Amino acid sequence: MHKVIFDTDPGVDDAMALLFLHRHPDIDLIGITSVFGNASVETTTRNALFLKQAWNIAAPVAKGLGETFNHGRPHVGWPTGIHGEDGLGNIDVPETIDLPLDPRPAHRFIIDTVRTNPGEVTLVAVGRMTNLALALRDDPEIAGLVKDVVIMGGAFDVPGNITPAAEANIHGDPEAADVVMTAPWPVTVIGLDVTTRTVMTRAMLVDIAERGGAPARLLSDISQFYITFYEQHVDDGMIVHDSCACAYVVAPDLFRTRSGSVRVICGGIADGQTIQKPDARLFPPSPWDGLPSQKVCTGIDAEGVLKLIADTLSLSH
Ligand SMILES: [Ca+2]
């Protein structure tokens, strides 16, 4: 079993990833931590509670802070054209959800849970890296106590999606992402290099909704707005960014990775760009030296990952 804390900004593709984690038999979802990105942290936290309630998820929700790791970065607006005004595809999520939050801020929840389960927790982070960076800042020793860190973010050998250089999760808090990538814990980065090849068609989603009961039908409803947005990028369906990171946790063999230290560009026109120094290449001294070697995904069995996601979302308990 993989004990997972899911750090998320729901978010339509986040919702799919959450249902995947909830339904996969090899995953023990022990916490949900919210971060801003696809919407404000108030909205993403409300959405996490909404999905917890709708899907009867036992894991507690802890709310993240509402600002970037380095304060003072300008706010650039929420991507309501992709995720809707409510962050979940404009399905009229109730204004408030009558469920309690964990009393701790997200980064403190992460620290405490990792310390209670040393060597056992996998952090799956599919929003901005703010909460993970804050956890490392307040308690650097947790780096040695976490089993694995799997993040959705970055673009290495392909263009970004929010600028030609940068992917949105990283661009939203580059300083936090650089802290996470360079910390002495094992990170696997699932970026646009592989997620953009993983497109769930409308027909697959219809099949999931038919097989997976009411939770899957809700997921299908949430996804329609996002699918309409993606008509400008793909022929049919939705790119399932965040679910790719969850699939990696249970089926790493479906991915090909490249090892090497990773740095995040902070500032300038390439703000938020992710750059790896592959271990197999020799360079003169550079800011990539002396840092942990992390895994960057460069290849994916997209068909295998989509089948894994579809089969898992279709499992009714
Ligand atoms: Ca996300």
d(CA 285, ligand 1 centre) in Å: 35
Q: What percent of the chain has pLDDT over 90?
A: 91
Q: Which residues have CB under 8 Å from 159's CB, separation 6+? A: 165, 192
d(CA 103, ligand 1 centre) in Å: 23
DSSP-H helix ranges across the chain = 12-23, 41-55, 80-83, 106-116, 130-138, 168-171, 174-182, 192-195, 202-211, 213-229, 241-250, 302-313
- The terminus-to-terminus CA distance of the chain in angstroms comes to 17
Answer whether residue 102 shows pLDDT above 90.
yes
pLDDT at position 302, please?
98
DSSP tag of 274: E
> Using CA atoms, how far apart are residues 169 and 51, in angstroms rounded to an integer?
21
Q: CA of 225: how far to CAs of 81, 114, 158, 183, 237, in Å?
A: 9, 36, 26, 37, 11
Active site residues: 241
Report helix, strand or coil for 147: coil
Read off the pLDDT of each residue in 276-297 and give the average, rounded to a whole number.
97
d(CA 38, ligand 1 centre) in Å: 7
d(CA 115, ligand 1 centre) in Å: 25
Read off the pLDDT of each residue in 58-87 and give the average, rounded to a whole number.
91
> Using CA atoms, how far apart are residues 131 and 180, in angstroms rounded to an integer?
10
Instruction: List, for residues 285-295, the tens digit of each pLDDT value.
Output: 999 999 999 99
Instruction: List, for residues 22-36, the tens digit of each pLDDT value.
Output: 999 999 999 999 999
- Segment (H or E) for 270: none
pLDDT mean across residues, the chain: 96
Where residue 317 falls among pLDDT bands split at 50, 70, 90?
low
- Segment (H or E) for 122: strand 121-125
CA of residue 144 relative to chain centroid, distance: 21
d(CA 206, ligand 1 centre) in Å: 22
DSSP tag of 102: P
pTM exceeding the 0.95 threshold for the entire prediction: yes
pLDDT at position 74, please?
82
> Using CA atoms, how far apart are residues 95 and 87, in angstroms rounded to an integer?
12
pLDDT at position 100, please?
97
Is the backbone peptide bond immediately before 11 cis, with ω within 30 degrees of 0? yes
Residues with CB under 5 A from ligand 1 (ion): 9, 11, 14, 126-127, 242
d(CA 281, ligand 1 centre) in Å: 32
Where residue 231 falls among pLDDT bands split at 50, 70, 90?
confident
d(CA 11, ligand 1 centre) in Å: 6
d(CA 127, ligand 1 centre) in Å: 4
Beta strand pairing call for 61-62 and 121-125:
unpaired
Q: What percent of the chain has pLDDT over 70?
A: 100
pLDDT at position 316, please?
76
> Using CA atoms, how far apart are residues 120 and 28, in angstroms rounded to an integer?
11
d(CA 242, ligand 1 centre) in Å: 6
- Residue 115 sits at the vertex; the CA angle it makes with 111 and 121, to the nearest 5 degrees, is 85
Tell me the domains of the chain and their CATH numbers. 2-314 (3.90.245.10)
Answer whether residue 230 shows pLDDT above 90.
no
- Residue 238 sits at the vertex; the CA angle it makes with 158 and 269, to the nearest 5 degrees, is 35
Instruction: List, for residues 33-42, the tens digit of each pLDDT value.
Output: 999 999 999 9
Read off the pLDDT of each residue in 173-184 and give the average, rounded to a whole number.
98
